Structure 1
Amino acid sequence: MSLPNDPLSSSVDPEFIEQSVGYQMRRIVNLMASEVDHRMEPLGLTDAQWRPLLRLFLAPGQESTVATLARGCQLDAGGMTRLLDRLETKGLCRRERSQEDRRVVNLALTDEGLTAAAQLPDLLMDVQGIALDGFSDAEAAQFRKYLARIHENLAKRLVPSGGE
């Protein structure tokens, strides 16, 4: 029961949360992640594990250290190290000392990792296709522009360091 003059009982629309952009985006991300997780099961991968595999697959040599891969996957180096330990145990990637600088450890996909990673783009595009079902190509392109604008707006105001 609210008290008279209670600021929380003001004229806030009860559907405020459901209509907010952040809430809607979170719902979409959660649903897409659930579908991706379901499709990753046959590959033996979790939501967290496919991301570094895909980045190593799409940009071999460019994101080959723990630090660069962690930045690309938006994880801290410690979290990425633990994740890579699991991927290495599964036989999907390996660590190799750099020939140019022995202090640097590079990451590479194994043959098994390449096989798994090669399936990821099509799998992810299928999930995206489900999400965009019923959108025309023009609508999908416009939607991507809106998302990019939201990201740009938030990045320049909330994350001055340029983080994702």
Structure 2
Amino acid sequence: MEAKKRSVIAELSTGELGFLVTEVRNHLLAGVERELEPLQITAAQFVVLNSIMSGKGRTLSEFCRLLGYDSGAMTRLLDRIEAKGIIRRVENPADRRSHIVELTDQGKAVFPQARLGTEVAIRRLLAGFSENDAEALRAMLKRILANAAEG
């Protein structure tokens, strides 16, 4: 008698989903790091720059939420980016106890190159995907995130 084949959902539920997501994340970050190396920017630093440019992050707490860092680690990351002259922290007019992070002129100049490098790395991972494949991938990832938000 033939053994019943285990469902894909059952297999993913045993931890395979986490393993696959982690592996994809690791390869994505490694690819981005390679592309950004000539600019002396790390993947985490690019996330900060991209967040500023897209309007998704401007304060320490917003960056902590986006990157999953605690405030100490995020402060150290911002210190390293600021030392490169790419960002500056200015007093937050809405809350004098905090700062807003903004790109310097140097940061604005390097951002397009960094974004292009990131796109190259991600396109490499999406090689062979059709537009329909990519749309399905995006929809499924958004569905997983929506399920996670429901908790």
TM-score normalised by the chain length of structure 1: 0.74
Counterpart for residue 55 of structure 1: 51
Equivalent position SS for 1:45: coil
Equivalent position SS for 2:146: helix
Percent identity over paired residues: 32
In structure 2, stretches of 5+ residues that fail to align are 1-10
Larger Rg belongs to: 1
Contact 1:57–1:118 under 8 Å retained in 2: no
Q: What displacement does 1:35 show?
A: 0.7
The correspondence for 2:73, drawn from 71, 75, 79, is 79
Contact 2:91–2:99 under 8 Å retained in 1: yes
Counterpart for residue 90 of structure 1: 84
In structure 1, stretches of 5+ residues that fail to align are 1-15, 158-164
1:1-164 equivalences in 2 (<5 Å): 20-59=16-55, 63-99=57-93, 101-157=95-151
- How many angstroms apart in 1 are the aligned matches of 2:128 and 2:78? 38
Relative contact order, CA 8 A, sep 6+: which one is greater? 2
User: How many residues matched?
Assistant: 140
TM-score normalised by the chain length of structure 2: 0.80
- Root-mean-square deviation (CA, aligned residues, Å) is 2.3
Query: What CA deviation, in whole Å up to 9, does each residue of 1:124-153 have, x standing for no partner?
Result: 222221111111101110111111122222
